[in-house]
Amino acid sequence: MDENTLKLLVKLTQEGQCGSLEEHITSGGSAAVQAVCCKHFGRSGDTLLHYAARLGHLDIVEYLIKRVGMDVEVYNNDYKRPLHEAASMSHQACVSYLLREGAKVDSLKKADWTPLMMACTRRNLDVIQELLCHGADPALRNKDGWNSFHIACREGDPLVIHHLLLIAPDVWKTESGTRRTPLHTAAMHGCEEVVRILLERCGYTPDVRDSCGVTPFMDAVRNGHLSVARLLLEEHQASPTAADVLGTQPVHQVAVTGQDEALRFLVRDLNVDVNQRATGIQLTALHYAAKEGHTSTIKTLLELGADLHARDKKGRTALHMASIGQHADAARTLLQLGLKDSEDTSGITARQHAKRPDLVRVFECGSSDRNS
**Tens-binned pLDDT, residue by residue, of the chain (372 aa):** 788 999 999 999 999 999 999 999 999 899 989 999 999 999 999 999 999 999 999 999 999 999 999 999 999 999 999 999 999 999 999 999 999 999 999 999 999 999 999 999 998 999 999 999 999 999 999 999 999 999 999 999 999 999 999 999 999 999 999 999 999 999 999 999 999 999 999 999 999 999 999 999 999 999 999 999 999 999 999 999 999 999 999 999 999 999 999 999 999 999 999 999 999 899 999 999 999 999 999 999 999 999 999 999 999 999 999 999 999 999 999 999 999 999 999 999 999 999 999 999 999 986 544 433
Q: Where in the chain is the domain with CATH 1.25.40.20?
A: 1-105, 242-372
| pLDDT for 2 | 84
Torsion of CA 218, 219, 225, 230, to 10 degrees: -40
| pLDDT for 370 | 46
- Rounded to whole angstroms, the Cα distance separating 257 from 224 reads 9
- Rounded to whole angstroms, the Cα distance separating 328 from 271 reads 32
Determine contact, residues 79/115, Cβ cutoff 8 Å. Answer: no
Q: Which fold has domain 1-105?
A: 1.25.40
| Count of CA atoms in the C-beta half-sphere (13 A) of 190 | 7
Phi and psi at residue 247, to the nearest 5°: 85, 10
- Rounded to whole angstroms, the Cα distance separating 73 from 91 reads 17
- Rounded to whole angstroms, the Cα distance separating 39 from 293 reads 52
Q: What is the DSSP string of 165-204?
A: HHH-TTTT----TT---HHHHHHHTT-HHHHHHHHHHS-P
- Using DSSP's 3-state secondary structure scheme, residue 35 falls into helix
| pLDDT for 372 | 36
Query: If we measure between CA atoms, which residue out of 270, 281, 223 comes closest to residue 248?
Result: 281
| Count of CA atoms in the C-beta half-sphere (13 A) of 261 | 8
CATH architecture of 242-372: Alpha Horseshoe (1.25)
Give the Å distances, CA to CA, from 119 to 70, 89, 104, 317.
Answer: 23, 7, 15, 49
